[in-house]
Structures are given as C-alpha cells and as structure tokens.
Structure 1
C-alpha cells in the first residue's frame, strides 16, 4: 500500500507528492497539458482536475503547479488521496519506466556574446520556463546543473534560460581552452537526465515577481508600460545575446527607470551604450517623455 507524502516547496503554487520509492530514474518529465502527458497515465488523470497547470515527475516525487483559482490548503488532501487510489489499484505513473535509464540525445553548441567573458551554450531541449542567474555555488539550490558547473575553477557565474546556459568565466582561462570541456559536460549532463532547473525549489525573487500578472496589476500605469516594452522589444534581443533584463523600479519624480541586467548583459562592456542609446531612447520615444533615464543596478 503506497501513501504519498505532501511536501510544500519554496514556490507556493507548486506542491510535491513524494513516493516511498523512485518513480523516475535519471529522467525528469514536464507536462504542460494532457496531450503532452501520454507517457504518464497518472499525469493524464491529474490533468482532469481544473486547477492543474503543469506536472513534473522526477526521482521519487510528482510536483504539481496549480492555477490561482484554488489554494493548495483546500485541495491537497484530495489530490493525495486520488494519487494513492490510482497507484494502489494498479495505475501506472509512467508507461515505460524501463526507458528511464536510456540516454536522450541532445545537441549543444557554443555562441559568442557581446561580453567577452560570457559564452552561450544553446541546448536542443527546453531547460526551464523561469530564467535564473547564479552568482555562486551557494545560490544553486534550484539548479543541479549550475551547482556542477561551479565545480569548474574557471566558472564565475551561470545564467540559465529557456534553452541555453550562459557561463561567465574568470580571466584565468581562455575560451579556446575550456569551451569544448564545458560543452561536453553540459551535453552529457542533459543526456543523462540531469536537472537544469528544479522549478519546485525556486525561491521567489522580488524583481521577477513584479512582472507576474498578479503583481503587475498593482503597479502604476507607467511602470506597466515600461515592463511591456521591455518584454516585447528588449528581452528577445538580449536573450539572443545570452542575457536577460528585469524591471526594478520607476521613479516618477526623477523619471528614472532602474533595471537589472543578467547573464551576458551583466558586466558587458557594451551594456552602458545599449542602455543609453538603445533602451533609454526607445522608452523616451514610446512613452513620449524625453526626460526618461535608464540605470542598471549591479547585484
């Protein structure tokens, strides 16, 4: 008789249901809808619940991300009961667990960025839906991949976005000496089922939270317009260069916009020029305000 244990995560919308034994060896699964969950009869059943947004299966747990129409407190026991009943009556968590030990081929290639200290490694597989930056190994609770990368003595910082990893190196090494080693490591890590980002362990970041719909609605109109401009026009461009930009604040008196640069954009020699000649001029034009100033915060 199996009884799953309910575990809260650092992300309030994601709840873990832990099994006494491993249910997925060396491979993690992410399903965003019932059609994607064909390999998991249990996930397909759970998607019939109207509040289930995404399902992650890894190791000995299933993590469920909910929509905001409910709170976990009101439904978590019923979900656990449904999982227990399904599994204890012969239902399968995964259709073919024997495939878990097989490698899943992935391609990885390196791209240069405007920042000579940063190289972008593009992966042929989705790594995360939440961009995260790691300044040291102490920050890597949510990223087994970043934790392993910091064990290389030449790795200074790591930034992981949807399908790429940006690595910032110390000046002690040249890219010609370490690129192949890093590319091979990332490729083998992903192929062997390593987790790039564990969504259930992401700690809420105040600068990221501002851009979420529920918090976005509480901002003033100008701040909302600035975020929309950054999201639509600026982020795709900086992502192509291996970086990211986050809105921090807007001071209506000083007309000052503060942003956070991540990944290849952080510390890039051309970032000041990009801010002033690119982003600042764009905001002045689109907001019809010549007094707008843009400033980057160094974290």
Structure 2
C-alpha cells in the first residue's frame, strides 16, 4: 500500500486525496445550488434570463450603486435595506411613495414641471422617468403625478420610481440644493388678525389632513373676504378637489372666521407674480 499524506481532522487522520475530493464535491454542489438572483451581470445571456424581472430591470434602467460594484448581488442586498411603500390617493393620476426615510426636514415642495425642479436633484431624476408629469415632496413621502393618458399606467412607472428612490437615498446627495422658500402659512408682522387666524387654521387643522393624501394647500392671499389657495401634489387636478375646497375648507374657515366669504382655487400662479408672468410670456414666445 502506497504511503499517503494524512490530514488531521476532528474525526481523526484522513488522506489528503480524500479531503481534496470532498472539497471538489462541495464546490460542485454549491455551484448547482447558487440562486439565480445572485448571478453577476457578466453571466452568459442564457443565465441572465433566469434571474427574473428585477435583474433585467436593474441592469438596463438603473445605474449600479457604489456598494454593488455593478453586480446583482450587491444591488439586491442594498435593496433589502430599504422598503418603499405606496399609498393610493383620491387622485387616480397620483401615487404616494413612502421610502421610510426623511425626505424634507420641514414643509413641502411642489415641482409641476421639469423646469421647476432645477433646485432638487431628486426631482430631476424622477422627471427622467417616462410618463412622470409632476413631483411633490413632503416630510416623509414623495407624490408622483403621471400623465393622464391610456398609454401611461402605474404598472410601468412604479418599478422605475422604486429604483430611482433607492439609488438616490443611497448616494448621499441632498434632496434640494437651493434655499427652501419660507412657510406660506407663517404669520408675518404685517398680517392683520384675520389673516393670522386663516394661516393658523390652514397650518394646524387643514394641511395635515391634506398631506396625508399626498398633497398640500398653499396660501396665496386674502382680499375682500376671499381666501386664495393653490392646490398641490395629489390635490392638483383631483376630481374631488372642488368638493374638498368648498365643503371642507370653506365651511371650516367660515365657521371660525366670519370675515371669510369665499374660498377660491388659484391655478395660474404666474398671473399673481408680475416677473413670473413676464418670464412665462417670453418663454412661450420663442
């Protein structure tokens, strides 16, 4: 019998050849049982097709995060650290996304168009998704407004929004790069008692309820007994916005403040700000 080197194990002395053979069998079993979702993006086309829709989507429509090094394993592990929830709104064209992290420290921001999103890297990335019409940011949520047409549906948009939110909040980029506008319901020194009461009611009784539905209301002014408000987020174009404005907000303000005669919705904000109105006219003239 030929002499064989021995390998000391817990069960005693074993030949080295036997240990090597067991290791090869272990590697073979591991390769057979490797889940397809952990296969790298550099795998063969046949193997990539077995990795499922998430792998296919993430490699084609998203940039790999810094921790993933371009692999599906890194991307998948990172995704598991963030759970994005969705919530329906009264507006069928708006959907509320809750990423589970703080989006804004305070207040809300409305971006009705890509041009208005120049001060928010997050909004700019969301506008790159085909079918996104508007972006609204709240304290802990993001409301997306899609185009109102038959070709654009949520089943197509939602995966893109999920990937964008996960990539952005893992990148460490700031949500906004410009100074936030002052709170429109903050009582100013030159506000009279009636205006102060209107702002207080809007801020404490009305806005929290509206924000739960993924929207907000911006105070635009009070003149001759008429309160001017601008609907934002999911409230923009919502079928029930008129009912909310008249039956809810108007009745509450009139109950507590007798000087309020009517509440109207302001749709063309540029018309109330001279330099914005002029800029809009010049923009459309080219």
**What residue in structure 1 maps to residue 243 of structure 2?**
273
Q: Select which of 93, 96, 99 maps to 1:120.
A: 96
Shift of 1:119: 0.5
Alignment of 1:122-201 (within 5 A): 122-128=98-104, 129-170=106-147, 171=149, 172-198=151-177, 201=178
Q: Secondary structure at the match of 2:173?
A: coil
Q: Which moved more, 1:183-192 or 1:165-174?
A: 183-192
Stretches of structure 1 lacking an aligned partner (at least 5 in a row): 1-99
Whether the 8 Å CA contact 2:186–2:199 is kept in 1: the answer is no
Change (3 A) 1:209 1:164: closer
Shift of 1:229: 0.3
Change (3 A) 1:210 1:189: closer
**What residue in structure 2 maps to residue 296 of structure 1?**
265
Q: Distance in 2 between matches of 1:101 and 1:139?
A: 32
Whether the 8 Å CA contact 2:130–2:157 is kept in 1: the answer is no
State the structure with bigger RCO (CA 8 A, min sep 6), 1 or 2: 1
Stretches of structure 2 lacking an aligned partner (at least 5 in a row): 1-65, 69-77, 270-286
RMSD of aligned residue pairs (Cα, Å): 2.2
Q: Distance in 2 between matches of 1:269 and 1:202?
A: 33
Size of the alignment, in residue pairs?
190
Q: Select which of 197, 212, 216 maps to 2:186.
A: 212
Shift of 1:238: 0.6
Scaled by the length of structure 2, what TM-score is found?
Answer: 0.61
Q: Distance in 1 between matches of 2:247 and 2:184?
A: 25
Q: Distance in 2 between matches of 1:249 and 1:196?
A: 29
Q: Secondary structure at the match of 1:245?
A: strand
Point out the structure with max Rg over C-alpha: 2
- Determine which structure has the larger helix proportion and give its number: 2
Q: Distance in 1 between matches of 2:92 and 2:173?
A: 28
Whether the 8 Å CA contact 2:82–2:100 is kept in 1: the answer is yes
Shift of 1:115: 0.7
Shift of 1:277: 0.3
Q: Distance in 2 between matches of 1:212 and 1:231?
A: 8
Q: Distance in 1 between matches of 2:197 and 2:166?
A: 39
